[in-house]
Amino acid sequence: MPLPSTRMLPDNWQEAHRPVIAATFRSMVQITRLADRRGTRDPIAGRTSFAVPWVLYDGGARVQSRGGGATARGPGGAAVGVNDRIITVGSYLVAIPTDAAEIKVDDLIQVFACPDSPVLSGLMLKVVEVLYADAAWQRSLGCDLQEPSARG
């Protein structure tokens, strides 16, 4: 316990931890956002076209299963009651550097390579929760499996 006139954690203490955490980002991911989720319908061709997604982040990350997975809970994560709120908890946790662009719910994460767990390579995940912290050394994203769509 610190003295009453001192702080328990010094300002910016997380800066010293970020290089250690960054060394654990061994998976390669790309995070994208669709410009328009509805697309543009061409009634003559009978097709809907979608704009090229924006790349928000392309680099190292840590990807891990939270246990249970979408197969046990159904797609879209698990709805959990916390006090008077219902929150969605994703089946996967993806950690990226704190200086990456802002990631929002419904952004897509493609896992390209995961050397420590090759079964995760090729996954397409959808962000269902963004975990915020005031003293963070990584940005944590709760994700679930993205259901296949005609968007390809």
Residue 48, classed as helix, strand or coil, is strand
Question: pTM of the entire structure?
Answer: 0.72
Task: Tell me the pLDDT tens digit for each residue of 104-120.
Answer: 999 999 999 988 888 88
pLDDT per position as a tens digit, 14-24 = 777 778 888 88
Q: In the chain, which residue ranges form alpha helices assigned H by DSSP?
A: 18-22, 69-73
At 43, the amino acid letter reads: P
pLDDT per residue, tens digit, the chain (152 aa), is: 667 777 777 777 777 777 888 888 999 999 999 876 677 788 888 888 777 889 999 999 999 887 654 443 444 455 555 566 665 567 899 999 988 999 999 999 999 998 888 888 999 999 998 988 777 788 999 999 887 665 54
Whether 114 contacts 125, CB under 8 Å: no
